[in-house]
Structure 1
Amino acid sequence: MNAKTQSILSYLGILWLVAYFGGKDHRDANSIYHLKQGLGLLVVAILYNLVVTIVISIAPGIGQIIGYVGVVFLILMILGIIHVVNEIKKPLPLIGGFFEDKFSFIQ
């Protein structure tokens, strides 16, 4: 798997694992950057979904409104893939800056 394919897969949720384990031999600085951004997006999305699930179980009316905010993660995923295609190392809006220096195990 080449570096660009690996970078695109890193934004597609659970396919992050395929990108991480399947492309260890063909990583470059760009793919490492996008692996970190993709993992950060995945972690934040999972945490968000856990919180929304708890809120929905407590107050169903409020939880449904909050649940629609989940579309933001789809938009961030699409922006990340656009950055990969254009070969730009640019952090995702809102959360990307936080994950630029995290996840040191990705090399």
Structure 2
Amino acid sequence: MTNRTMAIVAYITLIGWVISYVSYRNSDDKSPFVRYHLGQALGVMIFSILLSVAIGILAGIVPALATVLYIVSLVPLVFMLLGIITASNNAERPIPLIGKFVEGKFSL
């Protein structure tokens, strides 16, 4: 897999992230580009899980907000799409809102 492909696949579900991570670990060229996008994708996935838990709790407490919370739950999907677009353009830009926070937090 090329570095660009590994970076793009990292954003596509947890299985895609694992595939990219294993390919990155087995490659001779440890590209900082792929490492950057692996970290960003992992940050988006962790954010998605935390957001899902928070939305589940809030929807249980205030059922009237369920529709609004459903729309908010689409935010991680938008972040993943932005990450895929950034990776396909061979750029290392952080994901909006959470990208700077997770930058350099994971040792991959």
**Same fold flag (TM > 0.5):** yes
Secondary structure, counterpart of 1:94 in structure 2: coil
**Whole-angstrom distance in 1 between the partners of 2:40 and 2:64:** 32
- Which residue of 35, 55, 59 corresponds with 1:32? 35
The alignment's C-alpha RMSD in Å is: 1.3
2:22 aligns with 21
Task: Give the aligned partner of residue 45 of structure 2.
Answer: 42
Residue 86 (str. 1) matches residue 89 (str. 2):
yes
Query: 2:4 matched to 1:9?
Result: no
1:70 to 73, 84, 91: 73
How far apart are 1:2 and its partner, in Å? 2.3
**Residue 20 (structure 1) shift:** 1.1
How many equivalent pairs are there? 105
TM-score, with length taken from structure 2: 0.88
Assess if the C-alpha contact under 8 Å between 1:56 and 1:64 holds in 2.
no
2:87 and 2:41 map into 1 onto residues whose CA distance is: 11
Q: d(CA) in 1 for partners of 2:53 and 2:23? A: 28
- How many percent of aligned residue pairs carry the same amino acid? 34
Q: TM-score, normalised by structure 1?
A: 0.89
2:63 alignment counterpart? 60
Structure 1 spans left out of the alignment, 5+ residues: none
- Structure 1 segments, 4+ long, off by >4 Å, are none
Distance 1:79 1:93, change over 3 A: same
